[in-house]
Homo-oligomer: A and B are copies of this chain.
């Protein structure tokens, strides 16, 4: 209810504040007998962790996951998988600039209003650090869905937009550059732009495109829990996300029905895929593709005016080590959330028919 659980059958509950002892979670409902490759889980975490390149925050967090339960002799046991990522640099910092004042476009103010007070250290629970737990669970969901292929990549940074369709891209190139854009030229332009923004002490928004392939037909529930509705909720639950579209998306608005409809081939596939792999909320076996819009990170390394708890105007200087653009590190988070959605529907679909 308090919103720290995601999924119904394959269900993740996370805990943890940015600068508390540890973050972590519990995965309940993972089927028994899944052979887990722990290296792959850690490597997903490594994709998300700070300090991995010059265009992301330079904080040092090793982000090593420790599993407490639910695994035995290399396989899942069907019992809950408890895990934690210990915070190693949570101590003795100076938070006086955050403690008593509210950073613009952060959650400081609303936490204070909602809960009466807040753990202000590093943003507390509102920090995107929480998403590391999602990446752990998503990496397990990916292994559960071994035949399904889930990829995400950066398709836009500010005004620099990758104008090629996902089907023309080589996903094996995603990790070849720090931006995580599979087109090398565009990636380079994005990288340089992010560096420029960083030098200005500023930040910039971006778009991540996700593509899910080899999807079994019949996943998703037709009314409220349409596949794309859960996928949208999953993406919108990631910090800094402002929009979600799938298939033809906002561009579909401009089309006529006669243009937009996807004609069937004899085998049930379609000649076009404007539906984005989902019809009536249920997967049709075609590729599911979607875009996720991220706003610019709110923490800018500039002086700004804001208010303190008493409502008095104060001038503050943004400081610390922050991401100038969130999308490169958000790629594995988008993939993780997509994997969680798909794993949940994959298991639920076993109960659809007699």
Contacts and interface: CB of A to CB of B under 8 A. Distances in A.
Interface string A61-76: 0000011111011010
Interface string A248-261: 11101111111111
10 contacts: A1-B1, A15-B79, A32-B116, A78-B115, A106-B280, A156-B253, A226-B236, A226-B237, A242-B250, A274-B295
Q: Which of A66, A77, A347 has the most CB of B within 10 A?
A: A77
Contact of A249 (B2, B293, B304): B293
Interface residues of A, number: 151
A164 interface: no
A218 B2 CA distance: 13
A302 interface: yes
Closest 3 CB pairs of A and B: A107-B280, A3-B221, A3-B225
A244 B257 contact: no
B116 A68 contact: no
A260 B296 contact: yes
Contact of A78 (B2, B78, B236, B291): B2
A159 B34 CA distance: 47
A103 B131 CA distance: 41
Contacts of A24: 68, 82
Interface stretch (A38-46, A47-55, A182-190, A199-207): A199-207
Interface string A230-241: 101110110100
A264 B306 contact: yes
Q: Which of A73, A202, A252 has the most CB of B within 10 A?
A: A252
Interface string A145-164: 00000000000101100000
Nearest to A82: B15
Contact of A77 (B67, B124, B237): B124
A317 to B, nearest CB: 13
Contact of A21 (B66, B228, B291, B296): B66
A136 interface: no
